[in-house]
Amino acid sequence: MFHGVKLEDKQTNSQIKDIEVAWEAAHLTKEELDRKLAKRKGRPFKRIDREAEKLGATHEAAARRIVEAKLNANIDLLTGLFNRRFLETVLPKEVERARRQSLPLALVMLDVDNFKRINDSQGHPAGDNKLREIARILQNMVRRSDIVCRWGGEEFVLLLPEVFLETDEDGQGLNQHLEKIRQAVAKVAVDQENRVGTVSMGVAMLNPDMIGEDLLKAADEALYQAKNNGRDQIKWARVKAE
């Protein structure tokens, strides 16, 4: 579900692992969960055991109680992606790591243009289904080290550590890959009249003098330019002169 996200920060990794295990446990049948518990007695499952004993409840009920607290704090419940709060926690750490190790870091803000048209013509449940499908596409089209978040509404953020502009492992530049993502998401955003939607993106690369808030602001300004220039395009933030 969380696409194997692995960050340098041990506390954040532990937090992600707890969420993954609790989410899994909350969706297992009693028999499946018992088999898991018999094979693995890691910290998250031990916590479920303690919670179950304290509540006098089943493992499933305890797991659901734990996962509810963790998901409410870090996960967007509609799409299953990380939420804005989680990104705001992780971003400063990734910025510091990129600066310390002289590694590139990109942040992409993606917005589905005229998404209100889908909600108005097909209803909010249909719009919610579109958002879930978009989330699935984004997760499937990024690397295991990348972080995908729902920023709010129909806006998403991709945090891309150690990303190189010219070529990636597939021999494609970042802009080429983002264009493929943009087109894939646009195909999902089809309204009731079968009109293919459009998607705008703003991209910013970390500069040495930036902090996390600066990176977000730069990507947001680039996204604004993309939408102000007619939507359906990718705009890159201007690099400030040294």
d(CA 183, CA 132): 16
Q: Rounded to the nearest 5 degrees, what angle is found at the Cα of 90, between the Cα atoms of 61 and 181?
A: 90
Is 154 part of the annotated catalytic residue set?
Answer: yes
> Angle at Cα 158 formed by Cα 152 and Cα 161, nearest 5°?
145
Contact residues for 73 (Cβ-Cβ < 8 A; gap 6+): 85, 86
Asked if 136 and 3 touch (Cβ cutoff 8 Å), the reply is: no
Locus of tokens 């579109």: 130
Q: Please, are residues 87 and 197 in contact by the beta-carbon 8 Å criterion?
A: no
Per-residue three-class SS string for 117-166:
HHHHHHCHHHHHHHHHHHHHHHHHCCCCCCEEEEEECCEEEEEEECCCCC
The catalytic residue among 31, 154, 169, 221 is: 154
Find out whether 142 and 1 touch, Cβ atoms under 8 Å.
Answer: no
Which residues form the catalytic set? Answer: 154
